[in-house]
Structure 1
């Protein structure tokens, strides 16, 4: 101003000052009017709200002023060509990129949803309770999020004799068994193998294997042994001893698959009892029938005994000494037997039928001591004929025949019995 006052006259200087003042007032008033004509708009950008004053005519102009570029997938509450109005509220949200992998198939999405669950619902995707997802529905969406979904499918499972279907999202057979709490014993088998991948079209078969040991008793058949007997009339036979079956115990390993026997293997055997041969004597004697001689001798002895004593219902005095002299007198042990038993043939070694003649006085002897067919007198028994042999009758031992088992038991075993050989 000092510069202008020195160059210009005072009147002109005052005029210029007045003009400048007027212009300044006009500019100031214009500024006030400009500011007064701005619209007040609320803008929410990605959840953050701000209020702006703007002379922009359209939403696009306002967003440009704010440095906001609306992308193809972004969300905008108004059209970009919408006119700006005072009090308007504009909402803008930038879309996030989401990568979705379903059973190894990948697809890219853009979304403005806040959570995984909202995103799935908006895009018509459903996750069942059997599916597996990398993120929960409540988790927030972040740009670049990768959502992995393994869809479940059913697999036929044959667990021994039990059949069922189980849900699985892949993995190996071993992993499927573990998830379902299925364990395998040492001998069990599974197909496909535990390391194989699970597929929808391949059933899983578990074979339950059990092995048990079982003992089985079997009889051992006896053989028949034939012996010639010169004291037995030719054409006749006599059972010396009945055969006895042996006992064999076999041990088998039984393999069962799902409860059914698939293999039976012999792993051991043990003979518990040996068999004993059946011994049969076949007569070879062609001389006069010993039975006739024995019967005759016995009858003669009985007659003589009756004549002498007149006692005993069998015609045989068991106490009186015989009148006949004897060159051979023995002191022996005497036991008793009876043909009155189950399985007994009733025939003696000399062919006497004791079943038909239960009261016949017959003793079993060792033929090397007292020859068969010999007439004898036995202390406490009386007159008899040596008409039989026995497996336990050896040396100075005789076995006297009694009509019944009760009689034989009553006789018992007697020692120091006098036996006289009469002829």
Structure 2
């Protein structure tokens, strides 16, 4: 009885072990069909589970794909496995431009790597890099970029005035023609998010130098030649006495004088740039005919005739002009030096209404 029971127990245990290995060790291949995103393929396999078959056939799944039946299900003969490949559509706005991407990536970082979109220094991303990809995900990228261009700037010339006492007053000549200059600028343009944020001149080159115009203006005043006087003596009879007055004739016009001096006479001139250029103590302009006097001897505005110089008017003073001394104005330094210091007859004219400026041709 005991040995019979042992045989029965051993046989039962062997049967149980045999039946338990039917699933773990498949000896007969199963015929299985896989429909992968619409493509159908039939396989003969001894694999036990769906995920084993997929791995053996090199079929990979993304986190977005679905498999029916589930990868953990055991394979059965005649089983149909359906794989739906799902690629979410993601919208990326890059510097204001909308772009659409379908992807198998799991995160934003993987998507950017797949599409060769690089986030460089200074760029801004509206979502974290580890954001999970989902259908209809929208995010924005703002990048920093630069560009450059060349511009040209025209520099206008200026006009310089020079004075020449050898040219008549009112005469003007162009000594040097003016020419504008040209500068070349290299301009750096900075953009962020597609918008211009700054422009900077990074380099400047002078292509053409500015040539200023130089104009020469004459300052030589016209010389009025005054004829030497013809002196006459005439007698004027009165009821009680008899007196003698003197006259002289200039260009056919007789002039009476009331006083006569012999004076030490010198000469002076003004040059452009001088402190007192074209200014006199009386406020009148300088011209040939302007005479500096000692106002205690000859008052300003006195019309007089100077031997060898002609008719003039007292309108200026000088530190060295004291007593019987006068200083005659000449247009040029050379004329003043040539005149030097002389003793001259000076006549105070009887007619003090003479317009000396008009007589001398001063406008």
TM-score where L is the length of structure 2: 0.35
TM-score where L is the length of structure 1: 0.31
| Structure whose alpha-carbon radius of gyration is higher | 1
Bigger RCO of structures 1 and 2 (CA < 8 A, at least 6 apart): 2
Q: Which has the higher strand share?
A: 2
Q: Which has the higher helix share?
A: 1
